[in-house]
Chain A
């Protein structure tokens, strides 16, 4: 099966600009996650969707970050305006079943964002 697709692979912007990332999960996966991974650290969950509804966005900086998953398939993550500390790799993951059922998450290769 095809894996989780993300684009773009790399993005360079200046601070205070806006940026958007796109994710296409594995076909049939109802649950979708966005993670932020700062250099040298493990990924940190930003938001989780179940179909097109938000399950957990407690770690999402809502003053500048937004995410949507229209029609319960593709998802976009937006940052507006970007700050220097947002430089990171943004990872998308998907899983087949709702939480608690022991299904693993499958990750894309991420978008590396650099803020100048």
Chain B
């Protein structure tokens, strides 16, 4: 599976949009981009996934560049409860989730 690169940490203000970048320059044509997050003392929580097209659900939006070498997770209106570690995972098979260090997102009031 392709490797991903994420910034180790980022802050955002409550009520503002949070844009989380992820680089996956070696992604292959049939690999999916998955995003999970892990709030302190809880298990990871699925957010969203996509292959080529942009995706949106009740939690977030996923923007994938046309060359698929990078993506951005957008939390439209961040709240304090969105403080968590966010993992960007590229995988051929959905069961092979290789978690990296992720991005620690801190939402500040």
The chain A residues found within 8 Å of chain B, CB to CB, are: 4, 31, 33, 41-45, 48, 55-56, 91, 93, 95, 99-110
* Alpha-carbon separation in the docked complex, A109 to B45 (Å): 10
Task: Collect the chain B residues with CB atoms within 8 Å of residue A107's CB.
Answer: 43-45
Name B93's contact: one of A42, A43, A100, A108 (CB within 8 Å).
A100
* Alpha-carbon separation in the docked complex, A31 to B43 (Å): 17
Name A108's contact: one of B43, B87, B97 (CB within 8 Å).
B43
The chain B residues found within 8 Å of chain A, CB to CB, are: 32, 34, 41-46, 49, 87, 92-102
Residue in B closest to A43 when the chains form the complex, CB atoms: B99
- A/B interface sample: 12 pairs, CB < 8 A: A31-B95, A45-B97, A56-B95, A102-B49, A104-B46, A104-B49, A106-B46, A107-B43, A107-B44, A107-B45, A108-B43, A109-B42
By the criterion CB–CB under 8 Å, are A45 and B96 in contact? yes
Q: A42-B98, A109-B43 are in contact. List 19 more A-B contacts (CB 8 A).
A: A42-B87, A42-B102, A43-B99, A45-B95, A45-B97, A45-B98, A91-B44, A99-B93, A99-B95, A100-B92, A100-B93, A100-B94, A102-B32, A102-B49, A104-B34, A105-B46, A105-B95, A108-B43, A110-B43
